[in-house]
Amino acid sequence: MRPRRWFVAAAACALMLAACNTSDDAAPPESVQSPGSVESPGASGTVDAGPPATAIGGVTPEGFDTIGVTIRDANEATRQFCLWLAATPDQRQRGLMGVTDLAGKSGMLFGFDEDTQEAFWMFQTVTPLSIAFFDSRGEFVSSTDMAPCTGTSDTCPTYAAAAPYRDAIEVPQGTLSDLGIGAGSAIVDRGACPA
């Protein structure tokens, strides 16, 4: 999943990646599972949400850095997890296109340098995703579920935030709440991925 404006070259790259992964042990996209269970907060009130369980032998993101993110949920508890980082226009255009295995990360953060209302779409994205949008203060804006779209680009719907946003986090569909993401949540810190 990536913002709607992108280039044909990105589609060609993803299709070549998918074509290279034809081994018999590759799990189908629908085998992506939700994150592991979240432990109760310790004395610090911080929960390590841990990585999601993902398909084994699938297509993983390539050419992205990672970033550690701390989310404060509506109950003031915090959770730390690791995401792939799409920080450049090219990375945001490619996003999770063709990806079936997050390789131990919880999802992908799309970071923008200024507020935007750019819509996302799921063209050539084969894994069902949920997306949450956050404003320049890190406060939750809105979220939605997104269905895979492997047809032609003109048949894929778009998904927009309810208001301008600065960051968007994509995770396997249905797992936002496992990471503490929802109404009243906020991104409160960024840094290295938790050990």
Residue 111 contacts residue 133 (beta carbons within 8 Å):
no
The domain in which residue 30 lies consists of: 2-191
pLDDT at 17 > cutoff 80: no
Query: pLDDT per residue over 117-164, tens digit each?
Result: 999 999 999 999 999 999 999 999 999 999 999 888 889 999 999 999
Q: Give pLDDT, residue 113.
A: 96
- Of 31, 91, 97, nearest to 66 by C-alpha is 91
- The residue-averaged pLDDT of 86-102 equals 96
The domain that holds 69 is classified in CATH as: 2.60.120.1140
Euclidean distance between CA atoms 121 and 180, whole angstroms: 24
Residue 146 contacts residue 1 (beta carbons within 8 Å):
yes
- Of 150, 114, 104, 110, nearest to 133 by C-alpha is 110
- The number of folded domains in the chain is 1
Which whole-number Å values give the CA distances from 119 to 70, 105, 133, 142, 146, in the listed order?
24, 24, 11, 13, 12
In this structure, of 11-15, 55-59, 77-81, 176-180, the range with the lowest mean pLDDT score is 11-15
pTM: 0.73
Euclidean distance between CA atoms 29 and 62, whole angstroms: 17
Q: What percent of the chain has pLDDT over 90?
A: 66
Q: Give pLDDT, residue 153.
A: 85
Q: Which residues touch 78 (CB under 8 Å, ≥6 apart)?
A: 41, 45, 46, 47, 70, 71, 72, 180, 188
Measured over the CA atoms of residue 22, residue 91, residue 13 and residue 156, the dihedral's sign is positive
Instruction: Please give the single-letter amino acid code of residue 90.
Output: D
